[in-house]
Structure 1
């Protein structure tokens, strides 16, 4: 447990990330958060912002910095999109089993109920909006699979949402990555991103009502 806490503390340190896998580590984290059920606790939004900072400070020689930025945005977007596909298929084929699982410290059906309520309210656009909401972004594609969302529709919103989420936060980190104030106050900037991203979820958890998942009839 102590090693896990140390790992999370280092995830806000761009230099540590570069020394321990760099952007490849970031690719794994983004895939795990969007595609692996237990990855919901990973800090996707701050990681994307830090990815932009790392890219801004990379030694790229004679390479065009914009092309490098677009290259990594493309790679991270692909990973984020693939992650949601994994979540969709897990929900489609294992959804009934997930809902029969007993709650424990790591998994609670409440996460699926919240994602499903958000999904029902927003429709297909929820797949895009959920990208910016911690926890919800992990379970939204699973719920889409559980309720049998049309796959072609899911593909459209998944791709669009993945590109918007990754490109916006990575570009923001890239533009601010060489700013002296941001570098001196990176922890506060990261904390601000976490608060802004988490606040809607916390408000929803406090004021929202539990909604049972409606399984597709077979």
Structure 2
């Protein structure tokens, strides 16, 4: 019942416990290998399980907040150490330059706010702190937005699951639809951004093609 995209989140959380949750959130926040992990749905489900007595909400929320902040700090430090050379790195199983470029475009558009907004965007949240470090964002500036993002996401998502689980009778019957809504809400912003960027690229390509036809005389 609690399976999502082939992952039984409830069984996973019960199996890994607090330490496992910390490791997963840390990895998704600042390690290349974490970009595919189900952070949003995992945090919400963990909060729900806390409302059912399987976990304690206070240590859970504090651990996920700490994991989110520390994970982003690790990503920032890694990006700062490697610098812009990271954009020349070859693609691998866990690293794709397209993901880095997507995070970079968000960073160019939203600046430091990207660190907060990226918390709710799969893939982008993993690479955003790395881009911030590589782009030499001032650490105090980064850390400020990192704390806000950690509070809103690392605390907010499990607390949301906890309070909904406590307030709504038999919420476990609606767990999958709620998690799906969270996942969709997470992936829609980057999809919209991609489509917008693609639209702009198509417009530029159309203008270039028209100019080329005029120059070669094929447009007459």
Q: What's the TM-score once normalised by structure 2's chain length?
A: 0.81
Paired residue secondary structure (1:148): coil
Deviation, 1:59, is 5.8
Equivalent position of 1:214 in the other structure: none
Among residues 17, 35, 39, which one is paired with 1:40 in the alignment? 35
State whether structure 2 residue 188 is matched by structure 1 residue 191: no
Among residues 47, 52, 64, which one is paired with 2:47 in the alignment? 52
State whether structure 2 residue 134 is matched by structure 1 residue 122: no
Equivalent position of 1:29 in the other structure: 24
Deviation, 1:104, is 4.2
Paired residue secondary structure (1:149): coil
Matches within 5 A, 1:32-111: 32-58=27-53, 68-104=56-92, 106-111=94-99
Equivalent position of 1:3 in the other structure: none
List runs of 5+ in structure 2 lacking aligned partners: 202-220
Deviation, 1:42, is 0.5
Query: Using a 3 Å threshold, how does the CA distance of structure 1 residues 193 and 70 change in structure 2: closer, same or farther?
Result: same
Query: Using a 3 Å threshold, how does the CA distance of structure 1 residues 199 and 176 change in structure 2: closer, same or farther?
Result: same
List runs of 5+ in structure 1 lacking aligned partners: 1-5, 61-67, 212-218
Q: Structure 1: how far apart are the matches of 2:6 and 2:99?
A: 25
Q: Structure 1: how far apart are the matches of 2:26 and 2:162?
A: 21
Q: Structure 2: how far apart are the matches of 1:199 and 1:141?
A: 21
Contact 1:53–1:177 (Cα < 8 Å) also in 2: yes
Residue-pair matches, total: 197
Deviation, 1:180, is 3.9
List structure 1 runs of 4+ shifted beyond 3 angstroms.
178-181
Contact 2:165–2:171 (Cα < 8 Å) also in 1: yes
Query: Using a 3 Å threshold, how does the CA distance of structure 1 residues 167 and 34 change in structure 2: closer, same or farther?
Result: same
Deviation, 1:196, is 0.8
Contact 1:95–1:142 (Cα < 8 Å) also in 2: no
Equivalent position of 2:164 in the other structure: 176
Deviation, 1:106, is 3.8
Paired residue secondary structure (1:102): coil
Contact 1:103–1:109 (Cα < 8 Å) also in 2: yes
Among residues 190, 197, 202, which one is paired with 2:191 in the alignment? 202
Equivalent position of 2:6 in the other structure: 9
Q: Give a deviation string over 1:74-128, Cα, whole Å, max 9, x none.
A: 1210111000011001111124442222234542211111111111211211111
Q: Structure 1: how far apart are the matches of 2:86 and 2:192?
A: 25
Equivalent position of 2:148 in the other structure: 160
Give the root-mean-square deviation of aligned CA atoms: 2.4
